[in-house]
């Protein structure tokens, strides 16, 4: 089994994701000095860590080939597309 300390990253990422949602809410309501592109990393990075952690523990050895290939790419794409506020799901004010 591969579990080891990987569960720590999965649970920490789940907690950090909920904190990231709070950060994005503060930015959207104007209660934060942080700008939108930077605040989106507060939820996208933990989501990517969560996806990659679950993939490493549960999916990597048990799923079909396409799932084993697509899920890690999805985790990396999830954190990289938040760089541009126009591509971010949490930036509805962008008019690009």
Alpha-carbon dihedral 22, 23, 24, 27, rounded to 10 degrees = 120
Arithmetic mean of pLDDT over the chain: 76
Q: What pLDDT digit, counting tens, does each position of 6-54 carry?
A: 888 889 999 999 998 899 889 888 888 887 778 888 888 888 888 888 8
CA gap 32, 53 in Å, rounded: 30
Coil, strand or helix: which one is 88? coil
Q: What pLDDT digit, counting tens, does each position of 45-90 carry?
A: 888 888 888 888 877 777 788 877 777 777 677 666 554 444 444 5
């Amino acid at each position: 089994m591969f579990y080891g300390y990987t569960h720590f990253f999965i649970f920490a990422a789940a907690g950090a994701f909920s904190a990231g949602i709070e950060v994005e809410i503060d930015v959207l309501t104007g209660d934060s000095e942080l700008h939108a592109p930077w605040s989106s990393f507060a939820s996208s990075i933990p989501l990517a860590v969560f996806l990659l952690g679950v993939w490493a523990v549960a999916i990597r050895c048990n799923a079909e080939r396409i799932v084993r290939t697509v899920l890690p790419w999805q985790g990396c794409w999830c954190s990289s597309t938040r760089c541009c506020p126009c591509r971010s799901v949490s930036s509805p004010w962008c008019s690009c």
